[in-house]
Every structure is written in structure tokens, then in C-alpha cells.
A and B are shown apart, each in its own frame.
Chain A
Amino acid sequence: MGNQQWVLETHIPVNNATSSITFSNNNGQYATNDIGGTTIMSYTNAPVYRIHFKVRFLTSANSLGSSNFYFHGNYSSSNDFTYDYASANTNTSMSPNSAVGTSRDYGYSSGNQQLGYGSMGSQFSNHAWGTAVNDLDGNSVAANSRRRGAWITGWFENHFPDQAGYYPWHYQIGIVTDQHNDNSASAPTADWGAWCIGAGGCSAGPYIDTITIGSGYNFIGDFFLFRGMNGNYQANE
């Protein structure tokens, strides 16, 4: 395979519960081509930042609140998430031709971009299939085990340079899960999932040499930082 523009810069596996993760020195890593030549991933050489992730919030709260899933670049100030379409307060019900309770979420001069309305907690226990099950090896798996929760998946993307452009962040996240995510014992409920799509920016930046993702609730997950370069500098063998 020839040299390419996209680089997997790093991967943060979050197996131990944490409240935030930070990618730092994002511009200090090098791309390497097929003959061993290196190119530093500076703003100029690698202007696109894309984070793909899956995440679970370790709480039984199904309504996280807007600020309980957030991210920001170097500046935790002057962040505007201004074009953000989300499901209800945090979650919604969907069936063919019907999506109930969608709403717009926005904020100005916040410390971060906020995606909590597109998120839900993952420690729910009233699955219709029982409070505990046994796996193929005979081990009991509790209802709120990490092995049974639903993932929130999505991506963020930013690009540089556009110092005058205040809206470089784009993002999309979603989760769909069991109908008992509100911990009610009876079906039906309307709490089946959540989603969010939108854009935002930071008028104090947008510098993104550091990117922080966090929540008021602990979480686990996987976070992959990709960089898009302005030439074919990377051999992805």
C-alpha cells in the first residue's frame, strides 16, 4: 500500500474508570512513510483531527444532563456549541416514522462542547432477560456488568488552520439500548436511546494541540485519534 494522508496517531484504551482523558502534545508526533522518512504532525502538516470512540458511563442515571459528556481543545472557555440537534432531554424513543421529543441544544461561552443530551448511563439492571445470566463458561454475569451495557459510539472532528472560523468542531454520537434503560421493571418505556449531531467552536482558539474529553460520571471506553495530513506522509502497512 502506498503512502497515505491519514495517520492513527494514538489510541487511549480506558479500562479503568476515569472522569476525563486528555490527548496532549498532539502536534509532537511524527508520521513515517514507506522509506522511513518522517514528518512532524504540526498544524500545517496535519490540520485535521478526528477522534473515533466508544464510551460507557458507569451510572444508572439515564439522563446525564447536557454538560455530562463534553470535550474541548486547548481552551476550556469561550466554547460555543451552536448547531446541535439532540434527542429530547437526553434520550428518545424511535419507531418507524416516529421520533419523539427531539430538541435543539445550544450554549455560548461555555467551557466545553456539550453532548450529554446524546448520551445515557450504562449501568441499568432491569433487562427483560433477567438480572443475571450465565456465560458459556458458566460464569454469572450481573445485569449491570460491563459485558452487558450498551456503548455510545461516535466521532469528533476539527480542522486547522482557520483562526477566524469559530465553528470547526463537528460531531455525531448515538446510543441505542434495551427498553428498560430507565430501570423501570415494566415495558414499555420511551427510553430506548439517544443521539446528537452538530457543530461548535471556540472563539478563544481554535487550538487543538490538547483535546480533553470528560464527564461528571466515570466512564470506560476506547478513543482513537486520527490525523489528516496535507500530503501522503504515512505508510499504513
Chain B
Amino acid sequence: MSLREPPVMCMIHDCATGETTERELTEEEYAIRDDMQADAEEQQAIMAQKQADAVAGRQKLLDLGLSEAEVTALVGAPPPDGASDVEAPDPA
């Protein structure tokens, strides 16, 4: 019986025999995995906030009357525009 559904597996390859075995994670390994995913979600939220702050801050500088070049000199270049996708170019 699995500890979780669906079970999360890991692989062990024995170089001496060439055999590969699979087993489900242990309770301890599941706990470590949960911690890692929680860390990732925290990082995701931090990054999203940083991006939002950068966009808002840049706009406030522009609203103060600074030129694009002046803002870029102060805080760096804005995120680059997305390149046209050759498989689905922008509609004319």
C-alpha cells in the first residue's frame, strides 16, 4: 500500500550489475520533499512581487518626467520584449 497517491518514486541504479530498481519514498523523504516544494512556492511569490515592484517603480520614474534613457541609466534596462514567434506570428 502506498504512503501517498499517486506514490512518488525514486530510482537506484547499480553500476556493478546494471540493474535499476524503483521504490516509493519513505515518510522522511516525503517530508523533505514537502519542505522543498514549500520553499519553491515562497521563492515564486517573492519573484512575482519583485517583478511587480520593478514594473511599478519604473513607471513612477517615467511619470516624474524622466526619459526612457534616463530611467534605464538609473535602474537598468526593462525586460526585453518578447520575440515574434515564428510558428504563430503576430496577426497583421
Contact = CB atoms under 8 A, between A and B. Distances in A.
Interface stretch (A17-25, A164-172, A196-204): A17-25
A63 B47 contact: yes
B81 A187 contact: yes
Contacts of A88: 47
Chain B interface, DSSP helix/strand/loop, else mixed: mixed
Interface in A18-44: 18-26, 28-29
A9 B16 CA distance: 10
B41 A22 contact: no
A98 B81 CA distance: 13
Interface string A90-111: 1001110010100000000000
A29 B45 CA distance: 46
Contacts of A26: 15
A14 B11 CA distance: 9
Nearest to A130: B88
Contacts of A188: 79-82
Interface in A110-164: 116, 127-130
A218 to B, nearest CB: 7
Contact of A10 (B15, B36, B39): B15
A234 interface: no
Given A62-B44, A63-B44, A23 B15 contact: yes
Interface string A217-234: 110000001000000000
Given A14-B11, A18-B10, A24-B12, A89 B81 contact: no
Contacts of A14: 11
B22 interface: yes
Interface string A50-89: 0000000000011111111000000000000000000011
B33 A19 contact: yes
Interface-central residue, B15, B22, B35, B85, by most chain A CB under 10 Å: B15
A68 B40 CA distance: 7
Contacts of B82: 128, 179, 187-189
The 5 closest A-B pairs by CB, nearest first: A216-B36, A187-B82, A28-B16, A65-B40, A190-B79
Interface of A: 9-10, 12, 14, 16-26, 28-29, 61-68, 88-90, 93-95, 98, 100, 116, 127-130, 178-179, 187-190, 192, 214-218, 225
Interface of B: 8-18, 20, 22, 25, 29, 32-37, 39-44, 46-47, 50-51, 76-77, 79-83, 85, 87-88
